[in-house]
């Protein structure tokens, strides 16, 4: 089943990272976790142009260092190997060695160059990687019973409550272009990357520089606009692989189809970002903050991030408390220079602040609105024409319970 959007972008029901031509994926249990799948892969039939964005945390995990160096060799990769249950972060020289072992052994299994394999890990920080379990898993992971995008999506999860995926299709140069995505992320999520991994595949024909610019632009509008708890992790990464199997004319920023491709990439990344935000540890609601009337895009983003990052706002939403004072408080400390007497705020369809002053409202109606699963907060700074959207979730008792026992 396919659903056509107004932008000529087709969202594929049950689409995945294997929807684009020439990609396969799979996952298995290799023993890092007690029972659940913990080792997954994506493979392209041919080397693919690759670009990535990475965590801003200075404690960057070993696999990220290895992957960044590998991509720089030819700006191409052909496979990604991911383990969950262990972050391989703060593990010193042994961690670097283990990341290279993951890379070399999977490359040997596939019969490809070592630097064509990207590696990444997610899980507990500061524990040495059980590399022998991963090595044993690599020997078995290509077996038919371990094949399938659904297995990859499960193998990359940690505290997530479910898999996160999407695929879209669009037409460029008369050729059908597919873009697929999968992600993991539930806690330690904050703008400027999070404890999240995002994987995007596409069969479009594109060079590295244009692909990297597209990814960076879209990431700033999607993955960098979500938060769960204000923590930025050590292992966060979004990788995109473009293998050219759609046989379109090489896509560049000057191509007439460039805007459509960017829109398709935006749909994929925004969907994954929102799925991560909704799956925040213990979350019961997805919260969307729309900011308009800002002097710059950066200002709009800063205000949106401040609101969605506020624990007081998040707990009020969980408790269905229409305490708009917490929202204007977050706007005020966002770092954006603004006139409080111009700011207006609405919670869903209900205006709660008008030009810096309380607006007449029914507390009972707003409270009833906050009982919904999807909450929208609208802010108008009345100071310009720029806008931005941020996503996050409420903060519940379960967040404390889950994170208090994360390692047990």
The span from the CA of 24 to the CA of 19, in Å, is: 9
What angle do helix axes 311-318 and 324-332 make, rounded to 10 degrees?
Answer: 160
Backbone Cα Rg of the chain: 22
Is residue 303 a contact partner of residue 344, using CB atoms and an 8 Å limit?
no
Picking from 340, 339, 338, 344, the residue whose alpha carbon sits closest to that of residue 377 is 344
Q: Kindly report the number of other CB atoms within 10 A of residue 397's CB atom.
A: 10
Active site residue ranges: 195
- Tell me the CA distances in angstroms from 82 to 26, 111, 114, one per residue in order: 10, 18, 15
Picking from 198, 253, 239, the residue whose alpha carbon sits closest to that of residue 50 is 239
The span from the CA of 287 to the CA of 244, in Å, is: 37
Is residue 128 a contact partner of residue 98, using CB atoms and an 8 Å limit?
yes
The span from the CA of 286 to the CA of 210, in Å, is: 32
Picking from 391, 407, 378, the residue whose alpha carbon sits closest to that of residue 286 is 391
The contacts of residue 193 (CB under 8 Å, 6+ apart) are 53, 54, 55, 56, 57, 223, 224, 232, 233, 236, 237, 238
Picking from 332, 211, 336, 221, the residue whose alpha carbon sits closest to that of residue 270 is 221
Which parts of 259-363 are beta strand (E)?
A: 286-294, 344-347, 350-354, 357-358
Q: What is the three-class DSSP state of 334?
A: coil
Helix spans in 60-207 (H): 62-74, 92-110, 131-140, 149-155
Phi, psi of 161 (to 5 degrees): -95, -10
End-to-end CA separation in angstroms for the chain: 42
Q: In what order do the strands lie in the sheet with 386-393?
A: 357-358, 350-354, 344-347, 374-380, 286-294, 386-393
């Amino acid at each position: 089943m396919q659903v056509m959007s107004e932008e000529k972008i087709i969202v594929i029901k049950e689409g995945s990272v294997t929807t684009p031509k020439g990609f396969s994926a799979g996952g298995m249990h290799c023993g890092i976790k007690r029972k659940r799948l913990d080792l997954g892969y994506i493979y392209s039939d041919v080397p693919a142009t690759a670009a990535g964005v990475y965590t801003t945390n200075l404690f960057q995990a070993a696999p990220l260092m290895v992957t960044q160096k590998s991509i720089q060799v030819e700006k191409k990769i052909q496979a990604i190997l991911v383990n969950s249950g262990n972050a391989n972060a703060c593990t010193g020289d042994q961690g670097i060695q283990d990341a290279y072992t993951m890379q070399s052994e999977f490359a040997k299994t596939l019969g490809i160059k070592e630097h064509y394999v990207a590696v990444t890990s997610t899980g507990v920080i500061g524990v040495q990687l059980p590399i022998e379990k991963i090595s044993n898993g690599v020997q078995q992971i290509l077996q038919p019973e371990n094949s399938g995008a659904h297995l990859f999506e499960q193998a990359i999860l940690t505290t997530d409550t479910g898999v996160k995926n999407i695929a879209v299709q669009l037409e460029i140069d008369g050729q059908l272009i597919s873009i697929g995505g999968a992600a993991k992320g539930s806690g330690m999520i904050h703008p400027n990357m999070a404890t999240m991994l995002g994987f995007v595949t596409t069969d479009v024909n594109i060079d590295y520089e244009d692909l990297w610019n597209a990814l960076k632009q879209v990431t700033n509008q999607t993955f960098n606009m979500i938060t769960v708890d204000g923590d930025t992790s050590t292992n966060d990464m979004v990788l995109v692989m473009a293998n050219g199997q759609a046989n379109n004319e090489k896509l560049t920023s000057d191509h007439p189809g460039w805007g459509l491709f960017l829109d398709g990439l935006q749909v994929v990344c925004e969907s994954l970002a929102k799925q991560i935000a909704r799956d925040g540890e213990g979350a019961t609601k997805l919260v969307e903050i729309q900011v308009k009337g800002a002097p710059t895009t950066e200002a709009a983003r800063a205000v949106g991030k401040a609101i969605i990052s506020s624990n007081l706002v998040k707990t009020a939403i969980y408790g269905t408390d229409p305490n708009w004072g917490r929202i204007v408080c977050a706007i005020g400390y966002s770092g954006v220079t603004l006139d409080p007497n111009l700011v207006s705020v609405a919670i869903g369809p209900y205006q709660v602040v008008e030009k810096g002053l309380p607006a007449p409202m029914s507390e009972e109606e707003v409270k009833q609105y906050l009982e919904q699963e999807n909450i929208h907060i609208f802010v108008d700074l009345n100071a310009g024409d720029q806008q931005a959207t941020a996503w996050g979730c409420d903060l519940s008792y379960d967040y404390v319970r889950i994170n208090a026992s994360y390692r047990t």
